[in-house]
Amino acid sequence: MNGPNGPNGPLKEDKKIEYRIRKYQRALSIIQRTDYMAGDVMPGQALGGETVKREHILEYANRIIDLKKRLYELTGRCSPEAPKWPV
């Protein structure tokens, strides 16, 4: 019988955090390669593409920092054991 969190029971919090760190790192790599044009995110906005791109990079970087702090609290290490995702 499968539980609500899968056949092996609930996932450990540290594994979920490691997955999210890798997910946000991959998102950062994609953002860095993407050309942002003014008005792409919000049509009609005068914000320059590079300004929005910088905001997105900082947002994801801050999420990664928070997750790494929590991972350190749980395990004593701040880097995931899982390999990085392909770019």
**In the chain, domain spans:** 13-75
pTM: 0.74
pLDDT at 63 over 90: yes
Query: Mean pLDDT over all residues of the chain?
Result: 81
Pair 57, 49: CB distance under 8 Å = no
Pair 31, 57: CB distance under 8 Å = yes
* pLDDT, tens digit (0-9, with 9 covering 90-100), for 17-40: 999 999 999 999 998 888 877 655
Residue 75's nearest CA partner among 13, 9, 27, 26 is 13
Separation CA 66–CA 42 (nearest Å) = 28
Confidence of residue 62 (pLDDT cuts 50, 70, 90): very high
Q: Tokens at residue 47, please?
A: 């914000």
Burial of 22 (0-12, 13-18, 19+ CB in 10 A): middle
